[in-house]
Structure 1
């Protein structure tokens, strides 16, 4: 690959527009740009989560794979009509989710984000993932999108929830259960 980013500032976006990978320009506040940006933001949160783990943690490999998927997903949004995320991506998420969920006890109450710094970061990534999903649903109301992209984000948020539970329970840690009585003044 050549030098794709030899000049970082171009001034082409000074008018409030941005270029898509297909050469078209759209407003920076368009739903499509919001979807691209939120996929990027989610990728950043997962990168931060990876950095909160020990260098030999087994979770790093699947999280890095997810980062690659999210980069592909952002690219998919940057090229209207393209399809990069497919059923095989969703199937992999489901298998990974099942693998980590098998060792967890049934959830009998809501849990609060936290338990460990890594678990809290994973919950933050989950919340951003849910926002990305909402944005992609809205984008789908105004433009054609790959339905697998929406399904991928839905499964990914489920996986991030399970991973947050795993991370909170590591090394004798505990999940923080929501207690309704404590929410009163």
Structure 2
């Protein structure tokens, strides 16, 4: 159980922060940058949810919870030592990736195939979903870069990859099931 009774601790005043295993690292470390971007994405999902309801909102609520799981995963290095831990760290698992794929397939089933690239926009919800998509891609790139330096849960990378796809399809759903998508017209302003 987390108890936060004091918000500022002053322990980060020297430019370092603690990871989930207690190790102190620079706040600009790649690991902190990766999970910080996941946190940024979660905040943007919260903004997008201001425009949702029903099943889409329920799915996005699950995604927000998954993003906290992902942040917990990324802030805990040394995945190869998980089995030795007295308290195994929280990790993204394959079933979370599978759920995203299932939701993508369900949303995509009612959309016409794309015959052009689309521009971010249309409805306010769709615009927010595209912002979620691009920040998810950035979080994925940073996590992949982190994986070249340190151990990273492969399911975390897969989750971020599917999540950006999820937001792309959800953005189309938010544009009247793709009927109000804003199509790219190559060279239109030459």
TM-score range, shorter chain: over 0.9
2:61 is the alignment partner of 1:64: yes
Give 1:180's aligned residue.
186
TM superposition score normalised by structure 1: 0.93
Q: List per-residue Cα deviations over 1:166-185 (Å, max 9, x = no partner).
A: 10125x9610000013242x
2:100 is the alignment partner of 1:93: yes
Question: 1:116 touches 1:173 (CA, 8 Å); kept in 2?
Answer: no
Give 2:142's aligned residue.
135
Give 1:46's aligned residue.
45
Structure-1 separation of matches of 2:187 and 2:20: 52
Give 1:104's aligned residue.
111
Instruction: List gaps (5 residues or longer) in structure 2.
Output: 80-88
Structure-2 separation of matches of 1:11 and 1:101: 48
Aligned CA distance change for structure 1 residues 137 and 183 (closer, same or farther; 3 Å): farther
Question: 1:49 touches 1:122 (CA, 8 Å); kept in 2?
Answer: yes
Q: List per-residue Cα deviations over 1:86-121 (Å, max 9, x = no partner).
A: 111111110000000000000010000001000000
Question: Deviating runs (4+, > 3 A) in structure 1?
Answer: none
Root mean square deviation of aligned Cα: 1.4
Aligned CA distance change for structure 1 residues 105 and 173 (closer, same or farther; 3 Å): closer
Q: List per-residue Cα deviations over 1:112-160 (Å, max 9, x = no partner).
A: 0001000000000000000000000000000001011000100010010
Instruction: List gaps (5 residues or longer) in structure 1.
Output: none
